[in-house]
Structure 1
Amino acid sequence: MTEYPVYLVDDDPSIRRSVGFMLRTSGHQVQTFDSGTELLGKVDKLDPGCILIDVRMPGPDGLQVLEEIVHRGIGLPVVVMTGHGDVDIAVRAMKAGAVDFIEKPFDKPVLLAAINEASQRLNNKHRRSEARAEARARLGPLTTREYEVLEGLVNGYPNKTIGYDLGISPRTVEIHRANLMSKLEVHNLSDLLRVAFAAGVGDVAED
């Protein structure tokens, strides 16, 4: 699994040193921030990585930072660190989109397990992005009409309905279907739809 950088956010310099040391000795690159404000000022330009943030900090706390990251649509997974008695806040953080939470004081294996979970999220997202890009490339040679027919098939419409919507005959739809399967090098409707779904055809909002 790819080792992504960890962005460590804590206002306590001793925590930044100790947790940073744990991570670096396990092979992670670490960039530290002493406040949520500092992170939010740079987070849009950070490379893919995992955010490890304390819940209780002056200024915007960890939960507020998490909510802002989600609001901006930034896809960096977040692990929150909580003190004893902050479990209710941690639950709120999980509901707001955090990958995991760890309670201070924590052992190195607990920390690494949380970071590995966050890294797995990034790996999965990267693989999905690659698969989508590959599928979209396969759709590149399609004509506008062929793509419209494909959208109809994705919606589960029969040839007659697709033809009616596009103002063409069912026979013409069938010809376009055959061309689609030839261009995409698939042999049945299931495989055709698999490529279409992978490419995001029919998605309301594509990323």
Structure 2
Amino acid sequence: MTIADPCVTCIINQSLRVADAIDADAALTQQLYDYVREASKNFDFTRSPPEVAAEVYETMARLASKDDLYADVKRLSTAKARQNLPLLHKVLACSDTPFITALKIAVAGNVIDLAAAVNFDLDEELESVFHTPFAIDDTAALQTALYGASSLLYIADNAGEHIFDYVAIETLQRCYPNLHVFYMVRGTPIINDVTLNEA
């Protein structure tokens, strides 16, 4: 997928979220916004949004004199996710279908995307996810594929979500003891994505 106009708007708006995340003063907030708005005029529309965003975040980090713009946000997301571990383990222990429950736990973790939405009620989201059927249910096909698989590549997303991923992965490995799971994280910080520092 190549970058499109809505992606550009999103990347520009991210500059304001970054400013908020790092408690930037008015001058730095304006500097970040002006940089991204100006840079957006020269975005290469043959490239993907992550490719474009990576360069933008690298420059914003330099302007803000920070290695990881979302370090504090990631710490808070991870802490909040860890608070829910007892509930997640209890739900799994009571489940007649641990495989399905593990997948739903991974889905529930997706609500911890503070780069997309700052306000969320995690307890409410957990309740909703656990009692909502999958819109597209390919679990049977996934189970069949995993029975014959020796390895699984699991791609990480956001900090905090990775705690839910770990619970899901532990369950998958109990269901499929011969399955080797490889968890892929970002090589460098971008938004609130998981890196080796958080993993």
TM-score normalised according to structure 2 size: 0.24
TM-score normalised according to structure 1 size: 0.24
Structure index of larger Rg: 1
